[in-house]
Structure 1
Amino acid sequence: MNAITKRLTRTWTGFHPVAWGVIIGTFLSRTGYFMTIPFLGIYLGKVHGIDPATIGAILAVSLFVGTWSSFAGGALSDRFGRYPVMIWSMAVWGLVYVGFAFADSPWQFFLLSAMNGLFRNIFEPAARALLADVTSEKQRADVFNARYFAINLGGAIGPLIGLKLGIGGTSSLLPFLLSATIYGLYALLLIGFRMKFKQTRADSRPHVKAESLSARQIVKVVFSDKVFLYFLLGNLFVAGAYSHLDTTLSQYIGHDRVDAYSLLFVVNTVSVLLLQYPLGRLMKRYSSMTALKVGCLLFGLGLFGLGTSEHIIMLILSMMVFTSGEILCFVIGDVLIGEIAPEHLRGAYFGASGLAFIGQSASAWIGGMLLKSLGFSQGPLIFGILMVLAFAAFPFFHRGQLLRNRPAGDREPAANPSMDSDTLENSRSTC
């Protein structure tokens, strides 16, 4: 353990100060997020007496709006710079939490939930693009590993603080206001970094290139990148596989083994913290697409084990396999985008990757329908189907890998008649 700690320290001390700012801010913001949002459904029902169907719709609108706003957030950061988009979205996002504290009617919660999804998915692609901007290609896997570590650390601490502060009860005002304060502090931290590190690529020339492209042209450039398209298609199935942790598995295992499901949730969080660094080092020996292919297979195998195992030890081992797939697919996915995206359109690429949330929504629905139609006694069949759906990502990742390994000229985005030759050259210059 000491050797691992020393290697981590040696690796992480080489990060750009701005990268550290984003990583620390990620920990703070995710702590605030997990302090309140996972308990929002309980809060709406217990405190405001809203019926379950309406609560479900309120929670769903956040995901729906966020899915379609993600691309816009990334594209805006390409045009106007990372810092302005991140600062303003974070500041307004904090005000959303103030709204949750004082809202008292369903329509207000609908609006706030939509705004929560909107500003989260405007901020996130800009933050991920900023990390890629200030980090060398050699260190990107490490920096995105550190970011994912911060996310999961916040996910472990946030709910504990929320429970301690009484979230979901009559004293829920304090957790929401504390989350809003955290978001406000993060916005101030970003302002400080912008003032101190004015010459980082977060505000420099690459974004000027994006100004020569209309929104329609940006969309065409991004979605004519075939390597990225195959990654995005595979990611739909990967995101869908992950969604079963909170949806299908919570119903299947939690309906008669609540304690076991609670333990598995803890195992998932702890496994991320323990396995992330060793897996990251191992997969540095292979290409990003290879790591993604291995990850989707582990996702499927883990799901099948969770749906067919009865003994708690086998359930824990299956969750560790599932979590290994989660680490590889989500961390390496960000690394891959940083590798293939043109520098001046990096935000748009990270934003477009948010379309994978469609896979989460669809898979959650599919899992529920399978449980309803086949019954809880058909675990092997249900999770066998879900395993095959996770495996469906493999051919897309493999096809993307084959295209990426071709000579550079064969994998350039297709020509767009509505763009002149200079604009096309700019859009390809850093592919």
Structure 2
Amino acid sequence: MLMRLNSIHPINKVLIFGTLFTRIAVFMTIPFLSIYLYKVKGIGLEMIGYILGTSALVSIFGGIIGGGLSDRYGREKIIILSILCWSLVFIGIGLADHLFLFFCLSGLNGLCQSFFEPTARALLSDLTKQEDKLFVFNLRYTAINVGAAIGPLIGLWLGSSNNTFAFYLTSSIYIIYGIVLLVVFHKYKINEKTVELTKRIQLKEAVHTVKNDKVLLFSVIGFIFGFIGFSQFGSTMPQFFENAPHLTNGVKIYSYLIILNAITVLMIQYPITRIGKWISPLFSIMIGILFISIGLFGIGLFKTALFLVFSMIIFTIGEVMMFTMTDLFVDQISKPSLKGTYFGVMALSILGGALGPAIGGVLLGHYGFAASEIVFGILAAINAIAFPILIYVNYLNKKRGRRTDSTL
């Protein structure tokens, strides 16, 4: 293990460690943002859903643009600019008082994330040998989940739902991260290839592929519904736990559930990925969809902490079964010459992450916090719509003779 760590490129080490600290910073602020907007700024529940959804909506298309810009102008420039812009976003959230500003800042948050994430992953890939890529990407994924476990505790301690200090602290962490990256980028020069014309045709190829490949099209639609369900974790749930009349210390319970989610992901990630030995990625994703729906309904149904913990574990198992198998599934349904296009088109499923918070906010506003069974029951049903759609995808795969068997 130590030898493999030493073999990682210095820039990649900074990216991974930076991911750890910035994720800690993000998770001590963003999960509490909806509560902050409701309690401190007095913004309505439905409007909060729209604000949070703006970030996801912008990120859908920002990733395609950001990835293209990084190919054309260099990964270092896009990474540094997105990090510095991100730091300004968190300062802005702390200073903003007007609804319009929160919409703008939420959009900028999604834009910065969509520029940074694919560019950072591309740079990790650029600087890593083929045989070490899985190891490096797993380190980054682990850093994300460790940050998700530690961040909410710090956010709870700092009172992120009631004051702006955590937002300024997060901004400072991003500024430090950007400065460190500037230093290592200067020390370790990267030779980047210019973008060829054929690579700039990807969007046209993507449109053509979506129109002609029903497997890909219905997969995207199914994943949109899956993302609608999963997005409730960071949008509707914190509002519910803060205001549910049957819960005392709801924010603290939610914070612990976030930590439980991250720890559970770390514990079950490897065992669940081994499921690929026996079942297909698509079947794993379908089971994951059902688990997420069951977990959502349990969150709304149960009133005691023990059963809420059980529901979150079920939700998390579904999350891991869904997301750890997605890349393998896309790889299997893609045409060899268009793998990049297929992965790019599948990113459109993030639309569910934009719709989810808005739908959750509307339901909370209409039914209220006391009718949690109805609110989360409807959300669970919407998420479960993905299941029959993916059954149809499986039918199309078999009909066309596409290979989506287990390969791990």
Question: Which bin holds the TM-score, normalised by the shorter protein?
Answer: 0.7 to 0.9
Find the partner of 2:177 among 176, 186, 190. Answer: 186
C-alpha distance 294-145 of structure 1, shift in aligned 2 (>3 A)? farther
> What is the alpha-carbon distance in structure 2 between the residues aligned to residue 403 and residue 85 of structure 1?
39
| Identity over aligned pairs, percent | 36
Find the partner of 1:112 among 77, 91, 105. Answer: 105
> What is the alpha-carbon distance in structure 2 between the residues aligned to residue 180 and residue 327 of structure 1?
30
- Please state how far the C-alpha of 1:143 moved relative to its aligned partner: 4.9
Matched, 1:151 2:139: no
2:190 corresponds in structure 1 to 198
Q: Secondary structure of the equivalent of 2:201?
A: coil
- Please state how far the C-alpha of 1:310 moved relative to its aligned partner: 4.9
The answer to whether the 8 Å contact 2:50/2:357 transfers is no
Alignment RMSD: 4.3
Find the partner of 1:316 among 301, 304, 309. Answer: 309
- Please state how far the C-alpha of 1:105 moved relative to its aligned partner: 5.0
C-alpha distance 21-393 of structure 1, shift in aligned 2 (>3 A)? farther
Find the partner of 1:288 among 281, 286, 300. Answer: 281
The 10-residue stretch of structure 1 (315-324 or 33-42) with the greater mean CA deviation from structure 2: 33-42
> What is the alpha-carbon distance in structure 1 between the residues aligned to residue 301 and residue 188 of structure 2?
54
> What is the alpha-carbon distance in structure 2 between the residues aligned to residue 224 and residue 14 of structure 1?
46
If the length of structure 1 is used for normalisation, what is the TM-score? Answer: 0.71
> What is the alpha-carbon distance in structure 2 between the residues aligned to residue 120 and residue 324 of structure 1?
25
What's the CA shift string for 1:233-284, capped at 9, x where partnerless?
2211111111233455556663312447535444323322322232233436
The answer to whether the 8 Å contact 1:234/1:397 transfers is yes
Matched, 1:274 2:267: yes
Unmatched runs of 5 consecutive residues or more in structure 1: 1-8, 412-431
1:234 corresponds in structure 2 to 222
Find the partner of 2:292 among 279, 299, 308. Answer: 299
Find the partner of 1:257 among 233, 238, 247. Answer: 247
C-alpha distance 299-224 of structure 1, shift in aligned 2 (>3 A)? same
- Please state how far the C-alpha of 1:151 moved relative to its aligned partner: 1.9
What's the CA shift string for 1:353-403, capped at 9, x where partnerless?
443343234344545556645995683x66555444333323444555566
Matched, 1:26 2:19: yes
C-alpha distance 129-347 of structure 1, shift in aligned 2 (>3 A)? farther
- Please state how far the C-alpha of 1:36 moved relative to its aligned partner: 2.9
The answer to whether the 8 Å contact 1:145/1:277 transfers is no
Matched, 1:127 2:117: no
- Please state how far the C-alpha of 1:337 moved relative to its aligned partner: 4.8
> What is the alpha-carbon distance in structure 1 between the residues aligned to residue 333 and residue 295 of structure 2?
29
What's the CA shift string for 1:174-231, capped at 9, x where partnerless?
53343223223433455525863735xxx347x4354452754554457755544333
- Please state how far the C-alpha of 1:325 moved relative to its aligned partner: 0.9
- Please state how far the C-alpha of 1:58 moved relative to its aligned partner: 4.5
Matched, 1:244 2:235: no
The answer to whether the 8 Å contact 1:62/1:115 transfers is yes
> What is the alpha-carbon distance in structure 2 between the residues aligned to residue 309 and residue 246 of structure 1?
19
- Please state how far the C-alpha of 1:20 moved relative to its aligned partner: 4.6
- Please state how far the C-alpha of 1:232 moved relative to its aligned partner: 1.9
Matched, 1:160 2:153: yes
> What is the alpha-carbon distance in structure 2 between the residues aligned to residue 147 and residue 40 of structure 1?
25
> What is the alpha-carbon distance in structure 2 between the residues aligned to residue 78 and residue 123 of structure 1?
13
What's the CA shift string for 1:140-175, capped at 9, x where partnerless?
6665544333222212322333444554556x3x53
If the length of structure 2 is used for normalisation, what is the TM-score? Answer: 0.75
The answer to whether the 8 Å contact 2:54/2:354 transfers is no
Residue type at the aligned position of 2:231: S
- Please state how far the C-alpha of 1:324 moved relative to its aligned partner: 0.8
Matched, 1:67 2:60: yes
C-alpha distance 258-311 of structure 1, shift in aligned 2 (>3 A)? closer
- Please state how far the C-alpha of 1:327 moved relative to its aligned partner: 1.4
> What is the alpha-carbon distance in structure 2 between the residues aligned to residue 402 and residue 99 of structure 1?
49
C-alpha distance 310-106 of structure 1, shift in aligned 2 (>3 A)? closer
The answer to whether the 8 Å contact 1:71/1:349 transfers is no
The answer to whether the 8 Å contact 1:78/1:347 transfers is no
Residue type at the aligned position of 1:35: M
How many residues of Structure 1 are paired with residues of Structure 2 in the alignment? 394
